[in-house]
Amino acid sequence: MSLLERQDVRTDPLVRLESVSKSYGDLLALDRVSLAVQRGEFVCLLGASGCGKSTLLSLVAGLDQISGGTLDIGGRKVSLMFQEAALFPWLSVRGNVELPLRLQGVSRSERRQRAEELLGIVRLSGFSDKRPHELSGGMRQRVALARALAQNADILLMDEPFGALDAMTRDILHDELERIWREQSLTVLFVTHNVREAVRLGDRVILLSSRPGRVIEDYAITHERPRRIDSPEVSAQAGEITDRLRAEVARHAQ
Ligand SMILES: Nc1ncnc2c1ncn2[C@@H]1O[C@H](COP(=O)(O)OP(=O)(O)OP(=O)(O)O)[C@@H](O)[C@H]1O
């Protein structure tokens, strides 16, 4: 294999954006964003409110059309998870997790088995027959994660999935997500406002400018895993990124 071929293998991204722009009428939300996410990477997107983070996710999800540039996910499947679990209240926990499997045409018995397996992965075995309103916010997000995993997608897109949870519950879910990401070899694109959360979880933290969103920094986070959100290393790097973000917000406010 030639050097060039080997480099191609190493840089075979699952998600590739080249100079992607997105406008809503006169409003330019994203401005020539280039970003490549490698298979198995955990990439966090960070930026001031309104800088286009959710827009970027919805473009990758194919929920919206790009206005310019190239976006290529090679026809791969994506699944989405949001701040609100958005579970169907009339379905049991198992029924919610089974839904994507039902849409994929998976047989009843296989569906049940797979749903139980996924509920085990998110540590909710024994809660299958509960309804969403009987669960805590953290447990509902676990169900949403199991449902996202049931889609059997190549790429997991997460839009502030833990933003509404208390700090302790969020901390526990960080550990769980990291474990599941490793065990399932997931590729994750994760939007957050929380700099520490981004450094806790990400292999990379992509910092977007204030609107229109452009990539202004691409930080490699190399601290050993599992990390603690309150460790000195995470705090120090989060401090550095926060300073950069503050400078960007201040520049924009002038
Ligand atoms: N469907 C839409 N129609 C018109 N404007 C939109 C639409 N979606 C997003 N926008 C605008 O695009 C810009 C980027 O929005 P987006 O929600 O992507 O930002 P964000 O970084 O995710 O914000 P936040 O951190 O506050 O959630 C905002 O100015 C928003 O008002």
Half-sphere exposure of 66 (CA within 13 A, CB side): 21
Ligand 1 neighbourhood includes 27 CB (under 6 angstroms): yes
CB 59 within 8 A of CB 217: no
Cis peptide before 212 (omega within 30 of 0): yes
Please give the mean pLDDT across all residues of the chain. 92
Calculate mean pLDDT across residues 80-102: 93
Round to whole Å and give the CA distance between 253 and 215.
18
Q: Residue whose CA is closest, atom 25 of ligand 1?
A: 49
Q: Is the CB of 212 under 6 A from ligand 1?
A: no
Average pLDDT for 2-11: 46
Q: Which of 237, 179, 205 is nearest to 44 (CA)?
A: 205
Predicted confidence (pLDDT) at residue 1 exceeds the cutoff of 60: no
Q: What pLDDT band is residue 4 in, cutting at 50, 70 and 90?
A: very low
d(CA 94, ligand 1 centre) in Å = 33
Name residues whose C-beta falls within 8 Å of residue 149's C-beta, 6 or more positions apart in sequence. Answer: 79, 118, 121, 122, 156, 180, 184
The b-or-e profile of 202-218 (16+ CB within 10 A means b, else e) is bbbbbbbbbbbbbbbee
- Whether residue 10 is predicted with pLDDT greater than 50 in this model: the reply is no
Please give the share of the chain, as a percent, with pLDDT higher than 70: 95
Task: Tell me what pLDDT residue 28 has.
Answer: 96
Interface confidence, given as ipTM, is 0.96
Task: Identify the residue whose C-alpha is closest to ligand 1 atom 24.
Answer: 49
Residue pLDDT, tens place only, 124-175? 999 999 999 999 999 999 999 999 999 989 999 999 999 988 999 899 999 9
Question: Which tokens go with 184?
Answer: 């399932």
With tokens 């996710």, the residue in question is 57
Q: Whose CA is nearest to atom 28 of ligand 1?
A: 50
In angstroms, the CA 233 to CA 236 distance is 5
Burial grade of 105 (CB within 10 A; 0-12, 13-18, 19 or more): exposed
Q: What is the pTM of this model?
A: 0.92
Place 95 in a pLDDT band, splitting at 50, 70 and 90.
very high
Q: Is 53 in the pocket of ligand 1 (CB under 6 A)?
A: yes
Q: Is 33 in the pocket of ligand 1 (CB under 6 A)?
A: no
Q: Does 55 contact ligand 1 (Cβ within 6 A)?
A: yes
